[in-house]
Amino acid sequence: MISFLAHRDEASPWRDAGAAVAWFAFGVLVLQVLPELQITWWRSPDAPGTAAALVVLAVGCSGALLRRRHAPTGLLIGTLALLAGPFWLGRTDIGTIAVVTDLLYCAVVYPPRRTARIVSVTAGVAIAGLALVSLALQGTRIAALHLLNLVLIIGIPLLWGTEVRRHRDLAVAERARAEEAARVAARDRDAAIAAERARMARDLHDVVAGRLSAIALQSEAALQPGADPELVRRVLATVRESGVAALGEMRTMIGLLRDADTTDPPTAPARLSELDALVEDARRAGLTVRLDDDRAAGTGLPAPVELAGYRIVQESLTNAIKHAPGAAVRVRLATDGTGDPLRIEVTNGAGSRPAAQAPGARAGTGLAGLAERAAAVGGTLDAGPDGDGWTVRARLPVSEPAGGTDHKR
């Protein structure tokens, strides 16, 4: 219903022509069937007859041709036809009154708000003025009857038109609000998709680039001419372990992207308590790694912070393997107390041998991804040269207390 009211003013002009013809037919029918149904103002043998009444009715109905496109002009034409009753015909026919009430309704509903307000105020002033004139000339009783008639003829169309316009404006506002909500939802959806794609890109980089770059570098070392068979076996064992780990993490990511009713439950996200295995992998790749965990006793971390910290250390070690093979690396985790930010510092010196030029060893988006990971949990990350080596520093906020340990390896 509200949508219908919002679009009524968009109808074809032929609809107004049809309304004008319908009102004229109604007026002619009343004149023929119920000629006494009229308001008589004065009687005279010289008063115009039925032909004149039809002319007045036709003039009033011609105003209905403008009832939507130029409603105030149509109301003015109808008002002139209405005034012809007491001043020319000596009577006012019901058909003329009916078409004028319709024009009054349209003059409130369809024009701009300011024009509709002017029409309403003018009609109210006319009702009050006519009632006062009747009171002064005919007394209280007749004035009360005239006031009642004026309210029925003028007041009801005004109130009805005002209420319909209110619903029509409400429908327009609701439609605009719905369109804006749809645009906001589309922007939010696009932003969520972009954020999810960025998160997936970071995860894929951590899993694929980290593990497979290490595999490529270790394979490069094993393929060197004259390599010791025992070294080759150790390298192949490390390659196999890294490949199995990469496949496991990839399987976890693929499981998270599948339907929620999958029978393969996803594994828990990586945590800082699993750094020992990560450090051991780095040592097998040729790094000399020292892990210092100086977190205060009782310090606990939310799962997102644990995962971000683990990935930062993982990518830092991978970069050291690629760009500073054989270097000494120090990994330090520290907090000052419960609730204080977690500080991560990974420092590596210069490599003891030239960096291998294996596939995947070129510079990529690792540091940018680490900065995004830190920012995602409200932290910061800085990375840059430190003497002959490289240092990565991160500060990750702790928002949820949990259990923790204090140990050094």
In a domain, 206, yes or no: no
In a domain, 265, yes or no: no
In a domain, 223, yes or no: no
- Enumerate the β-bridge partners of residue 39: 92
The domain spanning residue 308 has which CATH number?
3.30.565.10
Show the domain range for 368. 270-409
How many other CB atoms are there within 10 angstroms of residue 231's CB atom?
A: 12
How many other CB atoms are there within 10 angstroms of residue 40's CB atom?
A: 13
306: its two tokens: 């644990």
Helix (H), strand (E) at residue 384: strand 380-386
Give this prediction's pTM: 0.47
Q: Is 394 helix (H, G, I), strand (E, B) or coil?
A: strand
Last residue of one domain, picked from the residues 140, 165, 183: 183
**HSE toward the beta carbon, residue 76, CA cutoff 13 A:** 4
In a domain, 54, yes or no: yes
Query: Into how many domains does the chain fold?
Result: 2
Instruction: Please tell me whether residues 403 and 274 are part of one structural domain.
Output: yes
382: its two tokens: 């800085």
Instruction: Please tell me whether residues 172 and 307 are part of one structural domain.
Output: no
In a domain, 194, yes or no: no
In a domain, 160, yes or no: yes
Please list the ranges in the chain whose pLDDT falls under 70: 1-12, 40-44, 46-47, 134, 138, 143, 146, 205-210, 213, 217-218, 220-222, 224, 226-227, 231, 252-253, 255-269, 296-300, 337-339, 354-366, 399-409
- pLDDT tens profile 210-245: 677 677 766 766 676 766 777 677 777 777 777 777
CA 163, chain centre distance (Å): 31
Last residue of one domain, picked from the residues 183, 212, 243: 183
In a domain, 219, yes or no: no
